[in-house]
Amino acid sequence: MAALRPSSVSFDSSVSGPTNSFMGLLHKSPIFDSRKKLVRVGETHLGSLPSVKRNLVSRLEASSDSLGCGQHLMSNKMGNEMESLDKTDQGLDFFEELKHRFLCFKKQKYLEEPEHFQALAKAQSPKFMVIACADSRVCPSNILGFQPGEAFMIRNVANLVPPVENGPSETNAALEFAVNTLEVENILVIGHSSCAGIETLVRMRDDVNSSSFVENWVANGKVAKLRTKAAAGHLGFYQQCKYCEKESINHSLLNLLTYPWIEDRERKGLLSIHGGYYDFLNCTFEKWTIDFKRSSIEKEGPKCLVKNRAFWC
């Protein structure tokens, strides 16, 4: 087992990235001290915002100013400059990039609202719990603008919520914490278009035991797939996927109600459960709320009845 041993490796920018070493040696690498070229490894961390010297590699120069955030990776998408980078520089580039990102956040958000962040540092009291897909395009902090402190968030493949009878998992551990400890008022399950996890679910064979992690996991949405095949099996594959993406959200919403402490709070009006669907092709967002009184989870067939549908575009 690797031991945590900060090693005192020092290097400057002319030396190739962190030295390769044998199995599992953990070392701390220099970060966030852009004023010095020769940096000592150890307990270096960013204590306050230094005046940032431009020390970025060429692919980041698309930034319009020294702290130009949000645009720097556009150059990656456009120019595929990453491939042309020398491999030996990648170690340093990585740290530089993350440093740049963190400093952007610190300057534009953290230092702009010090009292708010001090209050948050003591406690969080988010009103939302959000379950979203791990897909890089659908972070709810971006698409719904959740700010630090607003939403307790689970992200997994295909934004699935397994029912209580499946036993412990990371999703229901987070649910338990959010509902029973943080006492959130809203749970929101957000699905999205072109979800590869749902596509795998629709595509995969149900009669064969899978050796793939993804297939094992998305099998949690099997009921949604059956309903999709029943209602939309005559449609093309991608239309079935779209149908299944929404059906899977509803299935997850119903699975939420299998947790007694969730159902209890819903019934008492302390908690609302919403579904959301983000279509990034057209940039639209659909939202609906479970109509608890009219929904049911009897054995004949779960029914997810909804109210307050909205469509934003």
Binding residue ranges for Zn(2+): 133, 135, 192, 195
**CA dihedral sign of residues 90, 95, 96, 97:** positive
Binding mask 33-62 for another protein (x = CB under 8 A): -----------xxxxx--------------
Q: How far is the CB of 110 from another protein (least distance, A)?
A: 5
For residue 152, what are the β-bridge partners? 129
Does 235 interact with another protein (rule: CB under 8 A)? no
Sole window of 131-139, 224-232, 240-248, 295-303 interacting with another protein (rule: CB under 8 A): 131-139
Q: Which is nearer to another protein, 173 or 235 (CB)?
A: 173
The two beta strands, 128-133 and 284-290, are: unpaired
Does 250 interact with another protein (rule: CB under 8 A)? no
Q: Which is nearer to another protein, 267 or 303 (CB)?
A: 267
Does 174 interact with another protein (rule: CB under 8 A)? yes
User: From residue 87, how far is each of 22, 162, 245, 283 by CA, in Å?
Assistant: 19, 41, 39, 37
Does 165 interact with another protein (rule: CB under 8 A)? no
Q: Which two tokens stand for residue 130?
A: 């959000």
Q: How far is the CB of 32 from another protein (least distance, A)?
A: 7
Sole window of 50-58, 149-157, 250-258, 299-307 interacting with another protein (rule: CB under 8 A): 149-157
Sole window of 57-65, 71-79, 243-251, 295-303 interacting with another protein (rule: CB under 8 A): 71-79
**Selected binder of another protein within 55, 76, 258, 296 (CB under 8 A):** 76
Does 75 interact with another protein (rule: CB under 8 A)? no
**Selected binder of another protein within 52, 62, 139, 232 (CB under 8 A):** 139
- Give CA–CA dist 130/146, Å, rounded: 10
**Selected binder of another protein within 56, 202, 218, 244 (CB under 8 A):** 218
- Give CA–CA dist 309/17, Å, rounded: 53
Does 276 interact with another protein (rule: CB under 8 A)? yes
For residues 171 and 162, is the Cβ–Cβ distance under 8 A?
Answer: yes
Q: Which two tokens stand for residue 123?
A: 């406690």
Alpha helices in 125-281 (DSSP H): 140-143, 170-176, 196-203, 213-218, 222-232, 237-256, 260-267
**Selected binder of another protein within 16, 149, 232, 258 (CB under 8 A):** 149
Sole window of 26-34, 54-62, 231-239, 246-254 interacting with another protein (rule: CB under 8 A): 26-34
**Selected binder of another protein within 52, 57, 62, 196 (CB under 8 A):** 196
**Selected binder of another protein within 35, 64, 70, 233 (CB under 8 A):** 70
The secondary structure of 245-273 as a DSSP string is HHHHHHHHHHHHTTSHHHHHHHHTTS-EE
- Give CA–CA dist 76/79, Å, rounded: 5
The kind and range of the H/E element at 94 are helix 90-105
Query: What is the rounded (10 degree) CA torsion for 80, 85, 90, 92?
Result: -110
End-to-end C-alpha distance for the chain, whole angstroms: 52
Q: Which is nearer to another protein, 74 or 231 (CB)?
A: 74
Does 128 interact with another protein (rule: CB under 8 A)? yes
Does 109 interact with another protein (rule: CB under 8 A)? yes
